[in-house]
Amino acid sequence: MKIVIIDGYTLNPGDLSWEGFEALGDLTVYDRSSDEEVAERSQGAEALITNKAIVSRELIESLESLKYIGVLATGVNIVDLDAATVRNIPVCNIAGYGPYSVAQMAFAHILNHTHHLAEHVADVKDGGWSRCPDFCYWLHPLIELKDLTLGIVGLGMIGRASAGIAKGFGMKVLAHDPFVSGDPPEGIEFTDLDELFSQSDFLTLHCPLTDDNEKFVNADRLAQMKSTAFLVNTARGPLVDEDALASVLNEGRIAGAGVDVLFEEPPGMDNPLMTAKNCSITPHISWATKMARSRLMGMAVDNLVAYKKGEITNCVNL
């Protein structure tokens, strides 16, 4: 089997091994591929593996040997699923490889905000503490999480991991997820979006992006939030109307935001959140701990092993 990994660098910049794929066939790995290079480099592939490179209808139709598409991520919007289905080509993704890593990043943003950690570190290195007449100082009021409310949109594995961390801090946890039925897990209260946005001191997004929820965090939703509330997005950038978020931040109508994802990635420097007040941006790294990437690698190999055995797993289109 000829296996082509079209953009492998973000998963494996050199600290993991491709040996699992190497054992399954003739492997070629490209660190990165431009749109123009994808078509050329994919020729002859029986198994095409992508992270963010686009696998379009035109590409799928042009690859006569193609039998399998693997996505090194959970989201599969980069693949034309209809075109793959027409040719009976399974598209297999990876889910559940890093819920604790993503939840950890959500709380990294929360804790950075509550203690203004980055600002204090920078000020100390700039001599602020050395010049201080007292044994300590703080640049902003510091916030304790106990008894404050965390609102979670999306109560899958990541949302539940975030809830567990919140409960460890003594927080109240509200959640909204229209796809979860029955009673909520212990210590979590289900509610509607109106109450979630209006009651949360910290609101974190852990839901998938769908046609129905793009930019659902819009001006109206943001207007429901407390002026002291903080928004976290480690899910998908298009869930948030970035212009609306920048406006409420610059006008002080919410306290801040921490985002690990943006509508366009990499972003242009004209993105309104780049200059928005009290907005911390990290470069889509919540998934990227070595432990999570190692699990992802193993699951991607397992998906291809299953395909070769005729036992397709994690298929999203057939």
Choose, from 236, 253, 293, 311, the residue flagged as catalytic.
236
Q: Exposed, middle or buried, 217 (CB in 10 Å: 0-12/13-18/19+)?
A: buried
Sheet with 256-259, strands from edge to edge, namely 188-190, 172-176, 149-153, 202-205, 230-233, 256-259, 279-281
* pLDDT tens column, 218-270: 999 999 999 999 999 999 999 999 999 999 999 999 999 999 999 999 999 99
Output the pLDDT for position 211.
85
Give mean pLDDT, residues 150-179. 97
Two domains, one topology: 2-97+290-308 and 99-281: yes
Summarize the confidence of residues 8-24 as an average pLDDT.
97
In the residue annotation, 265 being an active-site residue is answered as yes
pLDDT confidence of residue 77: 87
Rounded to 5°, the CA angle 111-115-117 comes to: 85
Among the options 284, 293, 295, 311, which is catalytic?
Answer: 284
Confidence (pLDDT) at 318: 87
Residue 181 pLDDT > 90? no
User: Model confidence over 225-235: pLDDT tens digits?
Assistant: 999 999 999 99
* DSSP, residue by residue, 18-36: -HHHHTTSEEEE-S---HH
* CATH 3.40.50.720 for the 2-97+290-308 domain, yes or no: yes
What's the maximum distance between 2 C-alpha atoms anywhere in the chain?
74
Confidence of residue 112 (pLDDT cuts 50, 70, 90): very high
Task: Tell me the average pLDDT across 115-122.
Answer: 96
Task: Pick 184 or 255 by higher pLDDT.
Answer: 255
Mean predicted confidence (pLDDT) in 287-308 = 97
Q: Are strands 202-205 and 230-233 parallel, antiparallel or unpaired?
A: parallel
Is 58 designated active site?
Answer: no
Domain limits, the chain: 2-97+290-308, 99-281
Q: Kindly calculate the radius of gyration of the chain based on its CA atoms and give it in whole angstroms.
A: 22
pLDDT over 90 percentage in the chain: 94
Count of Cβ atoms closer than 10 Å to residue 121 Cβ:
10
Catalytic annotation on 264? no
Strand ranges (E), the chain: 2-5, 26-29, 47-50, 68-71, 91-92, 149-153, 172-176, 188-190, 202-205, 230-233, 256-259, 279-281
Provide the CATH number for the domain formed by 99-281 in this structure.
3.40.50.720
Do the Cβ atoms of 266 and 237 come closer than 8 Å? no
